[in-house]
Amino acid sequence: MVIESLFYFSLAVLQALEDGLKKADADPSVKAVMICGENGKFSAGADIRGFSAPQSHPGIGLAPIVSLIESSEKPVVAAIEGVALGGGLEVALGCHYRVAHVKARMGLPEVTIGLLPGAEGTQRLPRLIGVPAALDMITTGKHIPATEALKLGLVDEIAEENTIEAAIRLANKVIGQPLAPRRLSLKPVPTLPNMEAFLREALVKVKKQARGCLAPELCVQAVRAASERPFAEGLRRERELFRLLLSSGQARALQYAFFAERAVRRWATPAGASWSSANAQPVRSAAVIGLGTMGRGIVTSLVKANIPVVALEQDLENLKKGRKAVMLLLEREAMKMEGGAQRLDFHNPARLQFTVDFDLLRDVDLVIEAVFENMALKKEIFHKLSKICKPGALLCTNTSALNINEIASATSRPQQVIGTHFFSPAHVMRLLEIIYGSHTSPSAIATAMQLAKALNKIGVVVGNCFGFVGNRMMFPYVQQAVFLLEEGSRPEAVDEVLEDFGFKIGPFRMSDLAGLDVGWRSRQGQGLTGPSLPAGTPARQRHGQRYSPLPDLLCEHGRFGQKTGHGWYLYEKAGGRTATPDPWLHNFLARYRDTHGIKARAIDQEEILERCLFALINEGFAILAEGIASGPEHLDVIYINGYGWPRHRGGPMFYASTVGLPRVLAKLEQYSEVHPDVPGLRPNAFLRKLVAVGSPPLQEWMSYVSWQSPKL
Ligand SMILES: CC(C)(COP(=O)(O)OP(=O)(O)OC[C@H]1O[C@@H](n2cnc3c(N)ncnc32)[C@H](O)[C@@H]1OP(=O)(O)O)[C@@H](O)C(=O)NCCC(=O)NCCSC(=O)CC(=O)CCCCCCCCCCCCC(=O)O
Ligand SMILES: NC(=O)C1=CN([C@@H]2O[C@H](COP(=O)(O)OP(=O)(O)OC[C@H]3O[C@@H](n4cnc5c(N)ncnc54)[C@H](O)[C@@H]3O)[C@@H](O)[C@H]2O)C=CC1
């Protein structure tokens, strides 16, 4: 008998499975059962949206179905095609045999949505493949290919072609064989000589990586229960831990992030452009200009995506340096890949060519400029590109903050100019901020989005303003962090609070890593410091607003961060990575406060957290109100994937909604009253409006935006 199921489980699917199994068991003419999915996909598990209404969630009925399958007196074989994920794999684990198509992928990704495999998966998988492999799958949520599943013993057979036929063949072969040895609930968990030490170390490891996210830790506890308790007791523990996660709030945040990342694929601009009005142009070849920190990673990303690249530098010396760095990155990437260097083929000049000659850019479909952050230089390059490149070529700039319209104005084809803001390291970070200018065509946006997909990145389309979305929200956050130092705090205290919140790295460690000179040059360019600053400008004020010259002063002392061996912290050497609190800096701060008559005060963790985060969130409301982003999900996806925002907190705007908008507003009002010269703390009008209309759910925020002057 064949039972088909659907892509994700609904109550109807579970009912059909139950009915089918009962019918098969009762029918003497049925000798074996095969369970498969529809349309070449076994199952992606439970419908994730349903977890927000747990009482009616189809998942509740899943565990009894898995038990029912396992207890069948007739052999049940799973035919896995496409994916078997979450509850889908748990159903397969209830089966007595598993056959997978060679291209199928399997996994228990519940941890990534803040849960654990709650349909008995944490108890069956360790019994089948042992604790180390099960723990790895359950705590990372990774999808493994069928070939690896076979090696682990997760599947019994791989089918190169027709999986259903292979599963039926296997079912016929095993009719009459004893089923008890195939029932995972009856098997003991394979022992390890050092199980206790292994589980203890695993817990320490996941806690370190999880940065406050509960699910990985509870997954370890559930697997520990499998190794220590009889099956039925292990199940009780699994259920208890599942409930804990479901009510923790983190699951909701992680599930929101899952759907937000998919929602941003459906881009739209305030002018009405979207996928439906735009065709992406094919990108068969590309060029990258500038092989510094960013250019190297971008070239690597393109080569990995199988797009032939011309890599260009300003002179032979920089070209040699850039080529060496790119080759090193590609060698490393190749080592991580199946097929390695051969598959990447980067020694082939038809795939990757290094040059200083702009003429070689004549035929490429797309150019990404990644030279210094200098408007005059970028305009010079774009003017040249506009003359040299073929008519349809897309011209992208990797600027971090500069005006796309001004860069486009240097060309004769502003409709083909677009910002593609990669994040460092560009071959690793998943975010690609895609910035359209006033003249950028819908087709250019669609092509950049398509490129993001080809590079395995998450493209987020945003409007043009200084710093775009990510960096614009970052400015008030970093500004608050520096003001807190002026007022009495220390870099290590501020970083600790934000790292405890879940950021991968606090603002001062981040600034040391990126290099303080980057911001210094930008502030010099804006006339905020350096020789162009008018004489007599007060040290701690610019344009009537509070300003901290602390980062400028550090740069004047040659403290650029890791690269010089000292910045906000001290490092073991120039280029060192181990940050230690620096007594020199503490003395420097004390002298600075004396000079400016600032009385240091004790600043508690709550103030540090709120001032940094609420200033960032406040800017987010301004961005939404101005139409720079289509929705809060865009801001959240940018922060999770580009700025190390803890995913289990759902992104800054989601976080604001969980804190409660009235509280965010009240706190901003309170801080703004104390610091009236800091516009970043002045509550944004859109935040006020949302509170005034009763703080609607985040999904409804954009319906309260008045689109009077979208800034394109
Ligand atoms: C499947 C994928 C790998 C496909 O990827 P891709 O091809 O890239 O397509 P996508 O764009 O990602 O997806 C297409 C489209 O599908 C949507 N989608 C995908 N999967 C799901 C899903 N599982 N649910 C809902 N929607 C899904 C996706 O959003 C896209 O749509 P769009 O958003 O409109 O664009 C990839 O999609 C993927 O990885 N999916 C996620 C897979 C996953 O995480 N599965 C695990 C789900 S959780 C699960 O299965 C657990 C269980 O079933 C066990 C439940 C046990 C419950 C125990 C009950 C205990 C209850 C306690 C009661 C408490 C009350 C009390 O106290 O009593
Ligand atoms: N470093 C970072 O973390 C990020 C930087 N960016 C942006 O990316 C751009 C590049 O930044 P980085 O890679 O950090 O700079 P970088 O200083 O490391 O590299 C710039 C490279 O451009 C080359 N170059 C300069 N003029 C050139 C010309 N006329 N023709 C060809 N090559 C030329 C230089 O020789 C140098 O190798 C900047 O606009 C920056 O704001 C964007 C995101 C993150």
Question: Which CATH number fits the domain that encloses residue 194?
Answer: 3.90.226.10
| Rounded Cα–Cα distance for residues 96 and 242 (Å) | 25
Amino acid at 474: M
| pLDDT tens column, 234-264 | 999 999 999 999 999 999 999 999 999 999 9
Catalytic residue among 38, 70, 81, 110: 110
205 and 296, same domain (yes or no):
no
**How do 417-422 and 431-436 pair as beta strands?**
antiparallel
68 and 184, same domain (yes or no):
yes
Closest ligand by atom to 513 CA: 2
233 and 192, same domain (yes or no):
yes
Q: Which of 595, 613, 628 is the last residue of a domain?
A: 595
Report the separation in Å between the CA atom of 289 and the middle of ligand 2, taken as the mean of its atom positions.
8
Of residues 656, 648, 649, the one with CA closest to residue 686: 656
Q: Has residue 280 been placed in a domain?
A: no
574 and 588, same domain (yes or no):
yes
Q: Which of 595, 629, 646 is the last residue of a domain?
A: 595
Instruction: Quote the percentage of the chain above a pLDDT of 70.
Output: 97
Q: Using DSSP, state whether 269 is helix, strand or coil.
A: coil
Tokens standing for 460? 């987020």
SS3 sequence of 185-206: HHCCCCCCCCHHHHHHHHHHHH
Question: Does 110 qualify as catalytic in the annotation?
Answer: yes
Number of domains in the chain: 4
182 and 152, same domain (yes or no):
yes
Q: Which of 443, 462, 481 is the last residue of a domain?
A: 462
Tokens standing for 407? 């860069």
- Structure confidence at residue 11 (pLDDT): 79
359 and 338, same domain (yes or no):
yes
Tokens standing for 379? 């305009």
Percent composition of the chain: helix, strand, coil (DSSP 3-state, to 5): 55, 10, 35
569 and 651, same domain (yes or no):
no
Number of other CB atoms surrounding residue 605 within 10 Å: 14
Of residues 597, 631, 315, 639, the one with CA closest to residue 458: 639
Cis-peptide into 425, omega within 30 deg = yes
Mutate to test the pocket of ligand 1, among 17, 56, 81, 85 (most ligand atoms within 8 A of CB): 85
Report the separation in Å between the CA atom of 88 and the middle of ligand 1, taken as the mean of its atom positions.
10
**What's the chain's average pLDDT?**
95
CATH of the domain at 414: 3.40.50.720
Q: Which residue has the higher pLDDT, 591 or 56?
A: 591
Q: Which residue has the higher pLDDT, 11 or 299?
A: 299
pLDDT above 70 (res 3): no
| Rounded Cα–Cα distance for residues 21 and 404 (Å) | 61
Question: Is the reported ipTM for this assembly greater than 0.90?
Answer: yes
317 and 212, same domain (yes or no):
no
Of all protein residues, the one whose alpha carbon is nearest to atom 6 of ligand 2 is 400
Cis-peptide into 507, omega within 30 deg = no
Instruction: Report the nearest atom of ligand 2 relative to the CA of 401.
Output: 41
Contact by Cβ (8 Å): 561, 567 = yes
HSE of 708, CA atoms in CB hemisphere, 13 A? 1
Report the separation in Å between the CA atom of 3 and the middle of ligand 1, taken as the mean of its atom positions.
21
- Structure confidence at residue 572 (pLDDT): 97
Instruction: Report the nearest atom of ligand 2 relative to the CA of 295.
Output: 13
Q: Has residue 397 been placed in a domain?
A: yes
Instruction: Report the nearest atom of ligand 2 relative to the CA of 422.
Output: 43
pLDDT above 70 (res 709): no
292 lines ligand 2 (CB under 6 A): yes
110 lines ligand 1 (CB under 6 A): yes
- Structure confidence at residue 344 (pLDDT): 81
Catalytic residue among 90, 120, 217, 619: 90
pLDDT above 90 (res 274): yes
Integer CA distances (angstroms), 150 to 7, 104, 184, 227, in order: 23, 11, 17, 23
Range of the domain at 445: 286-462
Contact by Cβ (8 Å): 511, 560 = no
- Structure confidence at residue 6 (pLDDT): 53
Of residues 614, 501, 432, the one with CA closest to residue 253: 501
| Rounded Cα–Cα distance for residues 230 and 226 (Å) | 7
DSSP string, 480-502: HHHHHHHHT--HHHHHHHHHHHT
Closest ligand by atom to 48 CA: 1
- Structure confidence at residue 522 (pLDDT): 87
- Structure confidence at residue 706 (pLDDT): 82
399 lines ligand 2 (CB under 6 A): yes
| pLDDT tens column, 644-668 | 999 999 999 999 999 999 999 999 9
299 and 220, same domain (yes or no):
no
| pLDDT tens column, 62-119 | 999 999 999 999 999 999 999 999 999 999 999 999 999 999 999 999 999 999 999 9
| Rounded Cα–Cα distance for residues 333 and 342 (Å) | 12
Closest ligand by atom to 376 CA: 2
Q: Using DSSP, state whether 144 is helix, strand or coil.
A: strand
314 lines ligand 2 (CB under 6 A): yes
Q: Has residue 296 been placed in a domain?
A: yes
183 and 144, same domain (yes or no):
yes
pLDDT above 70 (res 383): yes
Question: Does 90 qualify as catalytic in the annotation?
Answer: yes
Q: Has residue 584 been placed in a domain?
A: yes
46 lines ligand 1 (CB under 6 A): yes
Handedness of CA 696, 700, 702, 704 (dihedral sign): negative
Q: Using DSSP, state whether 322 is helix, strand or coil.
A: helix
Of all protein residues, the one whose alpha carbon is nearest to atom 64 of ligand 1 is 54
Q: Has residue 483 been placed in a domain?
A: no
Mutate to test the pocket of ligand 1, among 43, 47, 48 (most ligand atoms within 8 A of CB): 48
Of residues 364, 329, 617, the one with CA closest to residue 472: 617
Tokens standing for 456? 């395995």
Integer CA distances (angstroms), 70 to 42, 149, 178, 186, 245, in order: 18, 20, 13, 10, 27
| Rounded Cα–Cα distance for residues 609 and 653 (Å) | 15
Q: Has residue 600 been placed in a domain?
A: no
Contact by Cβ (8 Å): 508, 566 = no
Q: Has residue 275 been placed in a domain?
A: no
Compute the average pLDDT of residues 495-523. 94
CATH of the domain at 668: 1.10.1040.10
Q: Using DSSP, state whether 85 is helix, strand or coil.
A: strand
633 lines ligand 1 (CB under 6 A): no
Tokens standing for 239? 């259920």
Instruction: Quote the percentage of the chain above a pLDDT of 90.
Output: 90
Q: Has residue 479 been placed in a domain?
A: no
628 and 561, same domain (yes or no):
no
- Structure confidence at residue 57 (pLDDT): 66
Contact by Cβ (8 Å): 77, 34 = yes
8 and 69, same domain (yes or no):
yes
